[in-house]
Structure 1
Amino acid sequence: MRKVEVTPRDPRKTRVARVVGGFETAAGAFPWTAAIRMSETHAHHCGASILDPTHLITAAHCLEEDQRPSSYEVVVGEWDNNRTDGREQILPVQQIHFYPLYKDLFAHDIAIVEVPKPGFKYNDYVQPICLPSPDFTYNPGRRCVVSGWGSTGLQYSQTLQAALIPIIDRNECVNSSQLYQSMSRSAFCAGYLEGGVDSCQGDSGGPFACRRHDGAFVLAGVISWGDGCAQKKQPGIYTMVAPYLAWIQNVIHSF
């Protein structure tokens, strides 16, 4: 990811998330990061995070236009999109669970994707991410990692990219641009108001992972939307995971 000025090509996609200005990861560095692809073309579509061998969490808007599970496949253990190195595991999507109150990406932009049992096999390159505690606090200034294969300005990234970005004070974010006043209470802002580092198109649904005091990472947020990428006063918007824990547990443990 380089620092780039991004002019979204499709105005409809301007607000769709939206890693620019970050760094290339080492293979296996963020083993919970998954990719959702179109099953017919195998083209990269969105990001996701592994919760357990058969469930992944993503952004609801990624799956809104085409809600047929058969349209998608999930890839875990991936690093280089253009190369098969034998670490990848690809499974079809069996079911999509939208958060019941989801209507559009401005609120409750969260969904769970289910793959057939027995699901993915865990190894050094495929690992679940911990869920946050119910009292997780989204403190301004806390720096966490976003990762994905989304746009670096001109095209989707070939290798998994990541960036360390801070949570932004809610009022500061809302006041930075009129559009951000539509941010829901269960979403938060992260990035840099001066621009330069951000998530971008194709990163939607991917993880916003924060390191706990014991060294483990927890999934604090899901990449949701933004107005452009890495532009001044236009940071990324993320769906909080903590408010949805009861729903997530319910979906994962229902038979």
Structure 2
Amino acid sequence: MISQEWLLTAAHCINNDLFNLPLAALWTAVLGDWDREMEELTEERIPVEKIILHERFHNFQHDIALMKLSRPIKFTSKTRVRAVCLPNKRLTHNQTDFCVATGWGRDLEDGLLAGKLLETKVPVHDNAICKKKYGHAVHIRSGHLCAGHLDGSTGTCVGDSGGPLQCAMSDGRWILAGITSFGSGCAKPGFPDVYTRMSYYLPWIKTKMKTYRSDLRKRYG
């Protein structure tokens, strides 16, 4: 969540080889969840009103999408939901103490999706490392962020796509540095993961949110 009514995710979670579902009426956001297998009384379900895919999304390029909730959620202790800060400048591999990737993906490549939210600490790398590993299949550009352990000890896995990469800054703030996009499948040694870099897409995010609000004012006065 980046505000009380806007969510970010990966575009390929909405449009991929198996399905293309950019219709907002088909989506409901479940906020404040931790254990998917039980009702914790902290969840809030809000229908999605609008989905905005990046217009140049293709083959993990511009892998980003916005979701507008049908109503804003209130940030209270009951819901346990907060908005994450967006970065104001490009994050480099020497600017953060550590980053945390979270998701309900598999903990083993052939395992099941997790019931409880998983997290893992990962280091940020120069994009040249991911370019060397994945450049034959996906052209690594400035809009990508390379992060993950090179020894294969931990990382994101199948089912984590669209989840956040949050980084602790030296001043104590946490920022949303990236969105889980793709990787080796499940933390293979020598292969870090690739995220959509938030600082690169900040202008796109702000423009789309502003344009949507402007269109609503014109439509309803």
Structure 1 and Structure 2 fold alike (TM over 0.5): yes
Report the Cα distance in structure 2 between the residues aligned to 1:241 and 1:185, rounded to whole angstroms: 11
Aligned equivalent of 2:200, options 224, 229, 243 = 243
Deviation at 1:140, TM superposition (A): 5.2
Counterparts of 1:47-196 in structure 2, within 5 Å, are 50-64=1-15, 65-105=20-60, 107-117=61-71, 119-124=72-77, 125-133=80-88, 135-139=89-93, 142=96, 143-153=98-108, 154-176=111-133, 179=136, 182-196=139-153
Residues 1:230 and 2:187 aligned together: yes
CA distance in 2, matches of 1:163, 1:66: 29
Unaligned runs of 5+ in 1: 1-49
Q: CA deviation at 1:212?
A: 2.4
Q: How large is the RMSD of aligned CA atoms in angstroms?
A: 1.7
Check conservation: 1:228, 1:234, Cα contact below 8 A: no
Q: How many residues of Structure 1 are paired with residues of Structure 2 in the alignment?
A: 203
Task: Quote the offset at 1:86 in angstroms.
Answer: 0.8
In structure 2, runs of 5+ residues without a counterpart are 214-221
Distance 1:178 1:232, change over 3 A: farther
Cα distance, 1:52–1:209 mapped onto 2, change above 3 Å: same
- Separation in 2, partners of 1:155, 1:70: 28
- Give the secondary structure class of the aligned counterpart of 1:94: strand
Q: Structure 1 residue 91: deviation in Å?
A: 0.9
Cα separation, 1, equivalents of 2:129 and 2:2: 32
Shift in Å, 1:209: 0.6
Aligned amino acid, residue 113 of structure 2: Y
Q: Is the 8 A contact 2:93 2:123 kept in 1?
A: no
CA drift at 1:88: 0.3
**Superposed displacement of residue 230, structure 1:** 1.0
Q: Of the two, which has the highest radius of gyration?
A: 2
- Give the Cα separation in 2 of the matches to 1:63 and 1:174: 25
C-alpha distance in structure 2 between counterparts of 1:223 and 1:184, whole Å: 15
Q: CA deviation at 1:194?
A: 1.7
Percent sequence identity over matched residues?
A: 31
Identify the residue that residue 218 of structure 2 maps to in structure 1. Answer: none
TM-score (norm 1): 0.74
Q: What SS does structure 2 have at the residue aligned with 1:208?
A: strand
Q: Any conservation in 1 of the 2:176–2:198 contact (CA below 8 Å)?
A: yes
- 1:169-206: per-residue Cα shift (whole Å, max 9, x none)? 22233224554662222102110122121111221111
Distance 1:190 1:60, change over 3 A: same
Residues 130 and 194 in structure 2, CA contact (< 8 A), matched pair in contact too: no
SS in 2 for 1:219: strand
Give the C-alpha shift of residue 80 in structure 1. Answer: 0.6
Cα offsets for 1:122-148 (capped at 9, x unmatched): 123100001100x23322584201111
Query: Residue 93 of structure 1: SS of its match in structure 2?
Result: strand
